[in-house]
Amino acid sequence: MSEMTDQVLIHKHGRVGHISLNRPKALHALTLEMCHAMSAALADWADDDEVEAIILDHAEGRGFCAGGDIAFLRNSALNDGGVSGRKFFHDEYQLNHQMFTYGKPIVAFMDGITMGGGVGIALPAKFRVATENTRFAMPETGIGLFPDVGGGWHLSRLGGRLGQFLALTGARLDGAECLWAGIATHYVPSEMLAELKARIIEKPDRIAGILSEPVGTPPKARIEGNADKIAKHFASDRYEDILASLEAVMDEDEWAAKERDTLGTKSPQTCKVALRQLAESKRLTDFADNMRMEYRIASRVIIRPDFAEGVRAVIVDKTGDPRWDPPTPEEVTEELIDSIFAPLPEGEEWVPLT
């Protein structure tokens, strides 16, 4: 069986379902059509007794998945009051939840850029394979969005305040760092991927063993050297405390100065939203509750000034000079954050796929 759409390639190889993202010019960024195609395939295979496991990868090019369709979301924010953008978020989050609760093992090959929406489809997978090409990040604070697609759940469960660091700074991790952090379950050289996929297709009941066979020692995780600093300076859920902690040692600590400078380019609103999001997510016990919360945030944030402005400055005009509103952390009030997290009107809340 083989089904081809422009943007996602969907096949069945014996006992394995295979989804390949196929928008190489856009680094396989997700469109609504792609989310729907993936969701439909997963639903079919869930009821297909022949299918024992799923492989998720990309067809060609250097990205696994660079995120969601940001241009589409900005257009929605500017032209339809966020209506079509909310539809995108709603259905994308349904796919994230469907994958998280899926009854058959999914193997995500994060061979390349894995950011934003790409994180949302990689981290729910039982097996998450990084390579030397992996570049993992949640860079949303730089465009006035927030680390969504389940980011609150996944990041809040990393140790040593690493999730808060990644959410605020948008720092990129390579494959070895993803393995060290627990973001990836396995690390393999990219030259071995074709062989590993073939062996999984041959023996889908032996995925763990196939991925765990000796493939050499991964490189040292560079971020491990800064783990103590991250745990110390990003310890608070109050954004002003984190800034103050970094500022106190900037003169003698080059790393702290660099991270403080990085935070100075981010949306103060988004940074405060992200800290609240991760704190709330960590207390939740049901992934669906997390996605409901993130949909509330997304519904509000997409029509706040920082999103359209951040995308303009970073992606459209590439001037790197966003004018944030509010412009400082102190001006982002608790009342504003409360309003972003507040329940939506009856009938407008996010619901999982049935």
Residues designated catalytic: 68, 117, 140, 148
Chain mean position to CA 159 = 17
The CA distance from 193 to 255, in Å, is 35
Beta bridge partners, 174, equal 135
Angstrom distance (rounded) from CA 190 to CA 318: 32
- Say which residues have a Cβ less than 8 Å from residue 252's Cβ, sequence separation at least 6: none
Tell me the C-alpha distance between 262 and 102, whole Å. 37
* Residue whose structure tokens are 């966020």: 82
Coarse DSSP helix, strand, coil percentages of the chain, rounded to the nearest 5 percent: 50, 15, 35
- ∠168-170-176 over CA atoms, to 5°? 120
- Going across the sheet that includes 53-58, the strands are 2-4, 8-13, 16-21, 53-58, 106-110, 127-130, 186-187
CB of 307 closer than 8 Å to CB of 143: yes
Q: How many angstroms separate the CA atoms of 95 and 119, rounded? A: 12
Rounded CA-CA distance 146/161 in Å is: 17
- On whether the CB atoms of residues 15 and 50 are closer than 8 A, the answer is yes
User: What distance in Å separates the CA atoms of residue 288 and residue 96, rounded to the nearest whole number?
Assistant: 10
